[in-house]
Chains A and B, each alone.
Chain A
Amino acid sequence: MLSENELWILSFYRTSEISGALFFGKLAKSMKPGEIQRDMTKHFSDEALHSWYWTSCIERLGAQALKLSEAYQDQYLAAAGMPVNLMEVLAITQVFEKRVVNQYARHSQVAGLQPEVSETLARIMIDEKWHIEWIHDALKKMESEYGKDLIEATLKRFWEADRDVYSKTMQEHEERIQGLVRLK
């Protein structure tokens, strides 16, 4: 069974995966043929699958996913400003995916975690690690076009925004996530 807070957190994860899938799906649709088009297509399909994993997980635990209006990524744009080219999109995604892996890893350490949640986290994290790798490789290849310094400066700016967003999110939902900070 899920507590109200746990249901909200898993629903928030689900909503964020859906937002990611929709965004990357649109990008994948508009991209020219090539490696990035290929990998972005897989990336978006993974995110959609992850939203299904969360939906299914919540259902197996006897609940139904909440319909939430805001995803984690929405706050990034407010904090970091809108990415305006593919390099910036990949950079902000890289930062976000690393935050997701970090959050999911922390969640997986919670004492007494339901096996259904634990399994879902493990499945998703395998994909998220690939997401980080392909984006890292794509950004590396973009150095000739954008310059290594600009890419690094862009990543740094988004990391700073990420820290602000994460800190704000933790404060806003302190009560909900209190259970998640009880590490093994």
Chain B
Amino acid sequence: MPDQNQVKEKIANLLNQPVSKLEDGAVLTTLVVESFALIEMVIELQEEFGVQLVQEDLKDIKTVGDLTGLIASRSR
């Protein structure tokens, strides 16, 4: 089961940014401005970590920390 840091590393890789620049409080829609790019990232994370999410799961997910926490907690 991955921890949040591993998920964050994957996000950094997908966004082509250094992990050090991805603070837990960074707002996702500010970090990834283009909607389609955000969709792509969320789907890739699910594929990578074997997680299945639905729209309801992301209702309260706003920041990098929210997302890494969700993926890490749901990973099989």
Contact = CB atoms under 8 A, between A and B. Distances in A.
Interface of A: 19, 22-23, 26-27, 30, 32, 74, 77, 81-86, 88-89, 145, 150
B60 interface: no
Interface of B is mostly: helix
Contact of B55 (A30, A74, A83): A83
A86 B55 CA distance: 11
A interface, over-half SS: helix
A81 B55 contact: yes
A84 B35 contact: no
A2 B53 CA distance: 46
6 contacts: A23-B39, A77-B35, A84-B53, A84-B55, A84-B57, A89-B43
Interface of B: 35-40, 42-44, 46-47, 52-55, 57-58
Contacts of A26: 36-37, 40
Contacts of A30: 40, 43-44, 47
Nearest to A87: B54
A82 B58 contact: yes
Given A30-B47, A74-B35, A85 B52 contact: yes
A82 B40 contact: no
A77 B38 CA distance: 11
A84 B43 contact: yes
Contacts of B40: 23, 26-27, 30
A113 B58 CA distance: 46
